[in-house]
Amino acid sequence: MDPNKYLSVESVGKTFETRKGDFVALAGIDLALRKGEFVTLIGHSGCGKSTLLNLVAGLLEPSEGTIILAEREVAGPGPDRGVVFQNHSLLPWLTCFDNVHLAVERVFQEPKSLLKKRTHAALELVGLSHAEHKYPHEISGGMKQRVGIARALAIEPKVLLLDEPFGALDALTRATLQDELIRIVEKTGATALMVTHDVDEAVLLSDRVVMMTNGPAARIGEVLQVTLPRPRERLALAHDARFMDLRAAVLEFLYQKQAHKARLKVA
C-alpha cells in the first residue's frame, strides 16, 4: 500500500438529477491523504465540500471515478469510516454511554466486558467520563459533540470524517473543542478529513488545507501545505507570522480569487 495514498479520491465527479436537468456538483476531484494526516476542505457555500465528504463516507455514490481507502474501494457506508456531523445525531432516549456503546456493539463481536471497556475509553478520551450516565438533554452542545466524536472514534475507523462539527457552537466552546480535537488526533494518530467554513480552524488543525472552487462543477482550486510544527498551541500561534501568512493565503483564495469568479458568473 502506498503510504501517501491511504485514502485516495481518483477523478471523482458527482452529478445530481433535478427537475431543471442534471446538476454537476463536483468534477475531476483528485485527492490523496497520507495515513495520520489531517486535511480540511474549505470553500464558499455550495461548492460541494459536504458532497465530497459524503462520497468518502459512502452516503453518496460518485457519478464517475473511484474512492479507495486502505486499498479497498468505498462502495457504501462502513465502520472503517467514522463520521461526525454538525448535528450531534445522538439518540435522545439513550445516555452518553449507551449512545457510544450502541456503535461499539454493532462493530465488534466481543464479550460485553470488552465492549464496555471500549466505550469507557472513548468517553475518557474526550473528557466525558463524569457525564457518561447523562442523557443528551442534560448536557451542553459542546458536550454533545464530544459524545459524537467519542462514538466515531470508538469504532476505531481508518479515517475520521468531520462535517463542520463545531459550526453550531459559540466561539468559546468552538475554540475549546478545536483544542480538544488537536489533542485527540495527536494522541490517536487518526487520519482525518474535515469540512469547515472557518479559516482559522482550517489552518490551526490541518496538515493541508484543500480549497474548493465555486460550483457548479466545483474542483480543487489550490492546496495549502501547513508547515506549522506540532503540537500546536492556540496562544502561541496567535502572533506567529507563519500562521498569519497561511491564514492570509486562504483568505486571498476565498475572497479575492473565488469571489471574483462568483461576481463574473452573476454578471
Tell me: the pLDDT tens digits for 187-237? 999 999 999 999 999 999 999 999 999 988 999 999 999 999 988 888 889
Closest CA to 82 of 7, 140, 14: 7
Residue with cell 468552538: 174
Q: Nine-digit cell at 196?
A: 469547515
Which of 145-154, 155-164, 257-266 is predicted with the least confidence, judged by mean pLDDT?
Answer: 257-266
38 sits in which H/E element: strand 38-42
Instruction: List the beta bridge partners of residue 5.
Output: none
91-142 tens-digit pLDDT: 999 999 999 999 999 999 999 999 999 999 999 999 999 999 999 999 999 9
Residue 41 has pLDDT above 50, yes or no: yes
CATH of 3-80+157-266, picked from 3.30.360.10, 3.30.70.20, 3.30.70.340, 3.40.50.300, is: 3.40.50.300
DSSP assigned state of 47: S
Cis amide leading into 231 (omega within 30): yes
Q: Structural domain boundaries of the chain?
A: 3-80+157-266
Separation CA 26–CA 232 (nearest Å) = 33
∠ at Cα 86 (225, 92), nearest 5°? 150
| Distance of alpha carbon 149 from alpha carbon 185, whole angstroms | 11
| pTM attached to this predicted model | 0.93
